[in-house]
Amino acid sequence: MILELLKKIDEYKDEMIQIRRHLHQYPELSFEEHQTKKYILDFYRDKDCQIVNNSKITGFFVKISGKNPGPTVALRADFDAIPVQEETDLPFKSKNAGVSHGCGHDGHTAYLMILAKVLIEFKDQLNGNIIIIHQHAEEKPPGGALEMIAAGCLADVDNFFSLHLISTMPYAKVFFNAKETQAARATFKVELVGRGSHGSEPHNGNDAILAASHLIIAIQSIVSRKVKPGEMAVVTIGSFDGKGSPNVIKEKVLLEGDVRCMKDEVAALIEEQFRQIAEGVAETFGVGLKIEYNQDYPVLYNDPEMTELAMQGVKDIQKHAPEIKEVAITSPLSASEDASHYLRKIPGTYFYVGAGQIDKETYPHHNPKFDLNEDALVIAAKAMIGVLARYFNWK
């Protein structure tokens, strides 16, 4: 059965690439993926599977029921795009201005659609069930995962597996990490309101720029003085909106930024310290303060047992899939991922497939020139077959 599944992936490679290129040309932003959803739904219309479609959200899932009883596993791919203008010379580059698949979700969706097609063809040989989650809005907090879970995609699911194609990881390699694997993310907005005045009369005003500048310096002490050395934590101010006239004391400033860390307790500590410092600075300078602080995505935690199972499954499949050159351990990633919500509900693992370019320059995710090595889609499909083979004990 394993050899037959792998053979089918090779047979459908051209279709997989065609799907990816179609999606790449017509990217849609988070929570707005209406045409993308229709395209994927149409793919499943004539297939022997159960489509569970909640019309109130732009994601949906598919249930592949095996002939015999057994465990139920969920596989997930995201399909939203990002607000970045593509700057490649690809013949299938984005046709939607200011929007592109600059994070590779088109590749995730294409590989999973073809894998699902193959699994449906072999459903009578399955002992158990497979849920195929086509998820919207991974890129925009609070993320589509929460809506998918509310729609019932994890009902009766025993374990969860998913992967990410990574352009900055070497092609033909598959990477795993157990326990804390991707960072929690919080975002914040801070508004400081002073009193405007003429630049020649600063004593008649209250400078919000001065207060905001002190706040920026002060919050850097959170990581350096409050977070235990060795713990991963980053606090970033990404926007300082204080533009005004050169001879005017600025009345209002808006700061925006984000926080990354690898433990729940660190996330809570940083928020507590952030609020305390902001309130202290506001009181010191006598300015008004508004804080909007959101814990967007939790730490992504990979179950050690499921991670070991998945890694061994990919190693097992190597003898039949020579495209997979190496299976290795990676260090935790500082990026965030809303697959963390699924892994908070049920044990599973989230792993990585190297999709670096071979004969041209590689660009990181979210870069306007980002592109994937399309051969990595086949590796993704075959790696997941390895995981499923180990999980279901296929021969």
What residues are labeled active site?
A: 80, 138
* CA atoms in the 13 A half-sphere facing the CB of 347: 12
In this structure, which amino acid lies at residue 9?
Answer: I
Q: Cα–Cα distance between 276 and 255 in angstroms, integer?
A: 16
Q: Cα–Cα distance between 233 and 179 in angstroms, integer?
A: 17
In this structure, which amino acid lies at residue 92?
Answer: F
Q: How far is CA 210 from CA 213, 284, 349, in A?
A: 5, 11, 46
Nearest CA-CA partner of 92 in 27, 3, 165, 158:
27
Distance of CA 31 to the CA centre of its chain: 14
Q: Which two tokens stand for residue 63?
A: 């249930």
Q: Cα–Cα distance between 102 and 84 in angstroms, integer?
A: 7
Mark residue 48 as left, alpha or beta (left: phi above 0; alpha: psi -120 to 50; beta: remaining).
beta
Nearest CA-CA partner of 77 in 307, 384, 392, 308:
384
Q: Cα dihedral angle (260, 366, 352, 156), rounded to 10 degrees? A: 70
- Find the angle CA(306)-CA(296)-CA(163) to the nearest 5 degrees: 30
Q: Which two tokens stand for residue 45?
A: 């219309």
Helix (H, G, I), strand (E, B) or coil at 258: strand
What's the sign of the alpha-carbon dihedral 205, 208, 210, 211?
positive
What's the sign of the alpha-carbon dihedral 33, 38, 43, 49?
positive
Q: Cα–Cα distance between 240 and 254 in angstroms, integer?
A: 6
Contacts of 265 by beta carbon, 8 Å cutoff, 6+ apart: none
Helix (H, G, I), strand (E, B) or coil at 26: coil
